[in-house]
Structure 1
Amino acid sequence: MAYKALYRKLRPGSFSQGYVAQQHIRTTLQNSLKNKKIAHAYLFSGPRGTGKTSTAKIFAKALNCLEGPTPEPCNVCSVCKKINENSSLDVLEIDAASNRGIDEIRDLRDKVNYAPSESRYKVYIIDEVHMLTTEAFNALLKTLEEPPTHVVFILATTEPHKLPATILSRCQRFDFRPFKTAEICQYLMEICENNGIYIEEEAAQILAGKADGSMRDALSLLDQLIVYGDGTITASLVLDVLGVLSPSTINELIGYIFDRKLDQALELLDIIIQQGKDIQSFIEDIINRLRDIMFENLKNPKGSIGLSLQELIRIIEIFIQGSKDIKNSSHPKILLETLIIKSIEGDYRKLSLLEKRIEDLEKVLNSPSFKSTPRVEVVEKVKDDKGQSSIGFNTIKNSWDKVLFAVKKESVSTHAWLKEGILDKLDGDTIEIMYEDKYLLHRENIMKENHKNIIEKVLTNIFNVDLKIKAITKEKGKKNNPKMKEKDNLVSMAEKLFGQDLVEVKD
């Protein structure tokens, strides 16, 4: 007897067998059969290997079973047997990928008028229906809307968004979901147990993960490993045959990326590539593991991965884009190395680190312990002629905007009188503020007790030194005397070069 692939051998024959469909689909179809409410067109959509074609054949058998229509086909009558053997003249499978033109659909449209030869219904199962041309869809429209009472259409597709709205509106739609990894793993272990095959649970988990929600893919991989392992399937065997990496190796590489250990990451990457591992599969494994870490971090934000959620998302985006680029790359190894470098040394990592430092600083500044601690500022100090410590004029000058801002917070009117003054010089512990003649009113008001006290209080808080203020009027002689003006220019240049505190003017 010819060898039969495992996924064909284990194809479910009824709604109660195996993983034929999700519960909501199975229940709805069985109820429609039980209540004799049969639609003329159905659309089965979902990823590959989720049971669309298997469900269509079971539904066709349930419609035409000699005991039916019935919620469960008997699989022993002549009609059921012929459908199982693909020899029924009334259940026709059409591959839309190879029969996608208008001529094929016109031929189908002409034949639907003929009555079934031996069954209750003629069932047309059109697989990959999204591959039909626009003209073919238009030719199918009228027949799909008002077919003969003995005809049922079942359209199957992995890409329902490619179907015209006019087709979708004429069908009852059923969406098949991908199988969960745990479901696939459990089913694989049951198959192996029933067939006397030893399989490690970890091996089944790896196979289920690689199947990506497709039961057919999982069974095909299992079929391959049964032959290779000669009845024994271990986790190491699965890793070798499929060319994939162990979870521990993936975690080790991701750890180097998180810790920004570029040399170790590239060294491990070189070892992985020398082992002949599939690079595309390798990137997918990294993305899936990063996804798991992202959700773990969402559940436990105080985890110890060492980087922010935003940074983790950026790393995932780098590898997702890389997985697209690597398919068409003639240098996949170099591209993979570039991805590793980007994820470790990219500008966004530096920015993220800076953001994290700012966040940490904000936490410290907003903490109750910091708020209760007296603020200490380091300021420039110089020695005066008496050897006493005092504030440097440059320090005051560089922080004058800060003084004005602090004064404004204390009193808007005080700020209004002060802002028109020009910081002139520091005489001992007294700051002289010069006003032009047109601001005499400002000069007088700033020296009033209430305004003067506010300013001196602010100065003490900012510079941690007791300072006084004195308002003076601009000397006209300096303004009109050319020699004095020239002297002032020379003094200004000297102060810029050496600093005002180190320049002394002698007549």
Structure 2
Amino acid sequence: MEHIALYRAWRPQSFQDMVGQQHIIRTLQNAIREQRLSHAYLFSGPRGTGKTSAAKILAKAVNCEKGPASEPCNECDACRRITAGAVMDVLEIDAASNRGVEEIRDLREKVKYAPTEVRQKVYIIDEVHMLTTEAFNALLKTLEEPPPHVMFILATTEPHRLPATVISRCQRFDFRRVSLEEQCERLKLICEQEGITAENEAIQYIARLSDGGMRDALSILDQIASFSDGHVSYKQALDMTGGIPSRQFAEIAKTLIEGDVGGMLQLIEGLMQEGKSADKCMENLLYYFRDLLMIKMVPNAEKMTERALDLQEFREMAEVFTRPQLFRIIDTLNHYQTEMKYALQPQTLFEVALLKLCSIPQSEEAVNVQAASAVTASSPADPSEIQQLRRQVAELEKKLERAMQGGLGGGSQDGDNRGNRPASRTTAPRVASKAKIPAGIDRYVAQRSSPEFMEVQGKWNQVLQGVKDEKITIHAWFVNGEPVSVLDDAILVAFKNDIHRETTEKPANKQLIEMVMERVMGSPYRLVTMMLKDWNDSIEGAGSETSKEEPFQLEPSDDGGGKEPWVDEALNMFGDDLVVVKE
């Protein structure tokens, strides 16, 4: 007798055979009993959850000779022929291969004819999201007002690709992934009926591997049963599917917390020699540490950690790691998993990710040592530590001196040019309303075309790329700015949006950007920011001052209403809103 695949042999033939979709089954059965069936349904959800099977069961239920009934009898001629696909009035269309407007026009022409074999015509359009825009437009009117003898059932795994005009004309049912418990019960029942002996661990592993799809679970079970002559063990399931047992993950976690780089490389090489793929290892390892985090943070997290077979072993391993360590491990693995999709050598990235994680325990230990040294500050200090502290203090003093020189330099230049500047307030630059204008802005304006700035501008794309490689979220804010000038060891960046400037100015973000600038430029630079609008005003103010320069002359006032020169200077520097003149 010819063998039939398990997922075909055990395809649900009635609503009660369906697994894990009780909310949909109950709604459809009530609609049949109360004769409140709709003319169009949309079944959406992940693959292998029973969308097409439910559509065929519904077609049998409305056309059953003993019905319409909430359950098809599967004994009458109509039910048996619909199951075999031999009824012309129940048409199952694959939209992936019939996606053009001509096929839909042909369907629209045939819809108007009455059914010849059963009570009601049923059109099941599978993978309906594959239809073209023109095909959807041709289907709209018929879908909205079909003849009374026609029912449309649309099935798709990607409902977001359907036009809203189509979705609004259908009753939508969202199929969910089948839970682990329901899958295990169904697989055990099938194994008993098929004469297959299977270990509980193997059943659970198959259910987890299918990711909520019943069809995938049956296909995997069928494959392993063929390999093992009807006896399915956990080890055979791992060997057939290329899976990794949890004990190997535990060894990786133990090696990681010990910081054993050599041992980690040996473990990775062993996995590769067994034929495991690097991307699958990365995915499973990410799930493993996610389950550790759930067990550590959530009480009674058994239902949230479906991949944990031995909960006691997981709890013991979770106690070894701290929460910050688990957060860093998951974040690092997720980053490298994304990069691995575009890598030519995925194994190398997998090795780099795990070797990088081996440094986490040492960094945590270093933080603890620093905290302990801060607590025991009264104990005698090591001479090398004192020398290091002195060097750090000297570097800070140099940076402070450079910053003060930049600020005072701008002020002294203003003082030197005070006599050459007319007393008119119209030439004073406007005060920034939100963003602070950096000290010595006139010097920045004067240096906007310097060779140093041209060099920085030529390497700016490298700086942006470096920031993006380090952290893409910071790059999203920082790319809004553009370099406008360089003064000493400071790069002035002007921003169009104040929110982008403020986010870039946060200490952690600013430190990362300055680190990238030092790496690209070859020497340390400070990041100074301002608004682009204020920068343009400063340039215009400098231009108007240069064009209006005239010799300074002291002219006695005819009346006592004149202002002292320092009053005008204060108004120029701070504006009318901040200066109050009292006689």
Structure 1 length-normalised TM: 0.67
**1:378 to 1:319, Cα distance in 2 relative to 1, 3 A:** closer
- Displacement, 1:354? 6.3
Partner of 2:346: 332
Unmatched tracts of structure 1, length 5 or more: 366-374, 381-394, 399-507
Residue pair 1:50, 1:178 contacting (<8 A) in 2 also: yes
Hey, what's the Cα distance between the residues in 1 that align with 2:368 and 2:43? 48
- Displacement, 1:15? 0.8
- Displacement, 1:319? 2.6
- 1:378-457 → structure 2 map (5 Å cutoff): none
Partner of 2:172: 173
Residue pair 1:93, 1:126 contacting (<8 A) in 2 also: yes
Residue pair 2:196, 2:230 contacting (<8 A) in 1 also: yes
Hey, what's the Cα distance between the residues in 2 that align with 1:69 and 1:53? 19
**1:352 to 1:115, Cα distance in 2 relative to 1, 3 A:** farther
**1:329 to 1:149, Cα distance in 2 relative to 1, 3 A:** same
- Displacement, 1:153? 0.9
**1:266 to 1:104, Cα distance in 2 relative to 1, 3 A:** same
Aligned Cα root-mean-square deviation (Å): 2.8
Hey, what's the Cα distance between the residues in 1 that align with 2:116 and 2:338? 50
SS state at 1:202 partner:
helix
- Displacement, 1:247? 1.2
Hey, what's the Cα distance between the residues in 2 that align with 1:227 and 1:345? 45
**1:191 to 1:357, Cα distance in 2 relative to 1, 3 A:** farther
Hey, what's the Cα distance between the residues in 2 that align with 1:155 and 1:40? 11
Q: Does the alignment pair 1:43 with 2:31?
A: no
Partner of 2:323: 309
Q: Please give the per-residue CA displacement for 1:217-254, whole angstroms capped at 9, x wherever unaligned.
A: 01001111111111111111111111111111122112
Q: Does the alignment pair 1:7 with 2:7?
A: yes
Q: Which amino acid aligns with 1:10?
A: W
Residue pair 1:225, 1:233 contacting (<8 A) in 2 also: yes
Hey, what's the Cα distance between the residues in 2 that align with 1:152 and 1:202? 44
**1:217 to 1:379, Cα distance in 2 relative to 1, 3 A:** closer
Residue pair 1:239, 1:246 contacting (<8 A) in 2 also: yes
Q: Please give the per-residue CA displacement for 1:340-391, whole angstroms capped at 9, x wherever unaligned.
A: 1233337xx7776666778x779x98xxxxxxxxx984699xxxxxxxxxxx
Hey, what's the Cα distance between the residues in 1 that align with 2:214 and 2:369? 47
SS state at 1:123 partner:
strand
Residue pair 1:258, 1:305 contacting (<8 A) in 2 also: no
Partner of 2:208: 209
SS state at 1:114 partner:
coil
- Displacement, 1:196? 1.8
- 1:67-466 → structure 2 map (5 Å cutoff): 67-299=66-298, 305-345=319-359, 377=378
Residue pair 1:308, 1:352 contacting (<8 A) in 2 also: no
Partner of 1:404: none
SS state at 1:16 partner:
helix
Unmatched tracts of structure 2, length 5 or more: 302-314, 382-389, 394-583
Hey, what's the Cα distance between the residues in 1 that align with 2:141 and 2:259? 62
Hey, what's the Cα distance between the residues in 2 that align with 1:357 and 1:164? 60
Range with bigger deviation, 280-289 or 294-303: 294-303
Structure 2 length-normalised TM: 0.59
Q: Which amino acid aligns with 1:57?
A: K
- Displacement, 1:314? 3.4
Hey, what's the Cα distance between the residues in 2 that align with 1:58 and 1:86? 12
Hey, what's the Cα distance between the residues in 1 that align with 2:255 and 2:369? 21
Hey, what's the Cα distance between the residues in 1 that align with 2:347 and 2:227? 29
SS state at 2:23 partner:
helix
- Displacement, 1:66? 0.8
Hey, what's the Cα distance between the residues in 1 that align with 2:96 and 2:148? 27
- Displacement, 1:18? 4.5
Hey, what's the Cα distance between the residues in 2 that align with 1:191 and 1:356? 55
SS state at 2:16 partner:
coil
Hey, what's the Cα distance between the residues in 2 that align with 1:151 and 1:318? 54
Residue pair 1:33, 1:70 contacting (<8 A) in 2 also: yes
Q: Which amino acid aligns with 2:286?
A: I
- Displacement, 1:36? 0.5
Partner of 2:541: none
Residue pair 1:198, 1:233 contacting (<8 A) in 2 also: yes
Q: Which amino acid aligns with 1:336?
A: F
- Displacement, 1:188? 1.4
* Residue-pair matches, total: 368
Partner of 2:536: none
Q: Please give the per-residue CA displacement for 1:455-490, whole angstroms capped at 9, x wherever unaligned.
A: xxxxxxxxxxxxxxxxxxxxxxxxxxxxxxxxxxxx
Q: Which amino acid aligns with 1:314?
A: R
Q: Which amino acid aligns with 1:244?
A: G
Structure with the greater alpha carbon radius of gyration: 1
Q: Which amino acid aligns with 2:12?
A: P
Hey, what's the Cα distance between the residues in 1 that align with 2:222 and 2:176? 23
Hey, what's the Cα distance between the residues in 2 that align with 1:361 and 1:70? 75
- Displacement, 1:74? 0.6
**1:350 to 1:379, Cα distance in 2 relative to 1, 3 A:** closer
SS state at 2:41 partner:
strand
Q: Please give the per-residue CA displacement for 1:294-323, whole angstroms capped at 9, x wherever unaligned.
A: 211212699854444344233223333433
Q: Which amino acid aligns with 1:75?
A: N
SS state at 2:98 partner:
coil
Q: Which amino acid aligns with 2:70?
A: P
Hey, what's the Cα distance between the residues in 2 that align with 1:321 and 1:113? 55
SS state at 2:37 partner:
coil
Residue pair 2:18, 2:50 contacting (<8 A) in 1 also: no
SS state at 2:358 partner:
helix
**1:189 to 1:160, Cα distance in 2 relative to 1, 3 A:** same
Hey, what's the Cα distance between the residues in 1 that align with 2:183 and 2:292? 22
Residue pair 1:308, 1:356 contacting (<8 A) in 2 also: no
Hey, what's the Cα distance between the residues in 1 that align with 2:362 and 2:145? 64
